[in-house]
Structure 1
C-alpha cells in the first residue's frame, strides 16, 4: 500500500470512528435531543449498528449516547384531539394541562380561523410548512 492510500484509509477510519463515538442520531438530528421515548428511528438504529460491524465499543457507545439523549426516537410522539365544539379557552386549558404554557389569543402572530372540515385543517397546515 502506498503512503497516500494509507493516509486515505486512516482518515476514513478515523472519521468513521469519530462519528460513531459521537452517535449517529445526535449528529444527524440534533433537534431530537431531550426526547424521553417514542418509536425508534430505523435510519439511526442501522447507522449505529454499522458501528457494531466495525468494532463493538463504538457501536455500543453510539447506541448508549443516542438512547441517553433521545436522538434515536422519531419525533411527534404526542397527539392532541379536540371535541367538535372546541373554543379558544378550552384549547388553552388543554395546552396548559399538557405543556404548562398558555396562548395569548390577542397576540399579533396568532390567527384564529373556523374551518369546515378536517381536510381544510390539513391543507392549512401543509401551507404553513
Structure 2
C-alpha cells in the first residue's frame, strides 16, 4: 500500500509547525539571558504540547527555554522622567517636539524610542483629563 505524497507532506509540515511553536526562544528572543522569574504559562503550554506530540523534541524545547531564560516572564521595569525635564520638549504653542522628547528620553533613560515611527499612535489629551489627575494645564 502506497502512501500519497500529499499526506506525507502534510504530516511533515504539521511536525515542523508544532516544533516551531514549541519553543519560547523563537517567540521571545528578547527574554534570553534571564536566570529567574515567573514562568510564562504560554511558553510552558507550547512546550508541553511539544511533549504531547513528540516527547524528545518537547523535552529539548523545555531544556532550551530554561537554559536561555526565554520561559521566564520579563521583569517589571519602570522608568520615570521628571516633569521639569519633559517641559523642555513642549513648545510655546503647546505642541510636543518629538525630536527634543526623543533626546530627553535618550539621556534620561538610556533607551532610544522610535518617536518618528509612522506607526506611532498619538492621543490628544484634554483639560478634563489633566484635572482628573490633579494637574493644571500649563505650557
**Residue 29 (structure 2) pairs with residue 30 (structure 1):** yes
SS at match of 1:109: helix
Deviation at 1:16, TM superposition (A): 2.7
TM-score, normalised to structure 2, is 0.51
Q: Distance in 1 between matches of 2:65 and 2:42?
A: 12
Q: Distance in 1 between matches of 2:9 and 2:69?
A: 35
Checking the alignment, whether the CA contact within 8 Å between 1:33 and 1:71 is kept in structure 2 is: yes
Checking the alignment, whether the CA contact within 8 Å between 1:38 and 1:73 is kept in structure 2 is: yes
- The 1:78/1:36 distance shift into structure 2, 3 A limit, reads farther
Q: CA RMSD in A?
A: 3.1
Checking the alignment, whether the CA contact within 8 Å between 1:48 and 1:63 is kept in structure 2 is: yes
Deviations 1:28-50 (A, max 9, x none): 11111011111100000000001
SS at match of 1:40: coil
Query: In the TM superposition, what are the counterparts of 1:1-129 in structure 2 within 5 Å?
Result: 1-17=3-19, 19=20, 24-77=23-76, 109-110=103-104
Q: Distance in 2 between matches of 1:47 and 1:110?
A: 40
Higher relative contact order structure (alpha carbons within 8 Å, sequence separation ≥ 6):
1
Aligned residues: 87
Q: Which runs of 5+ in 1 are unaligned?
A: 81-107, 113-118, 121-129
Deviations 1:59-103 (A, max 9, x none): 1111111011000010125678xxxxxxxxxxxxxxxxxxxxxxx
Q: Which has the larger radius of gyration?
A: 2
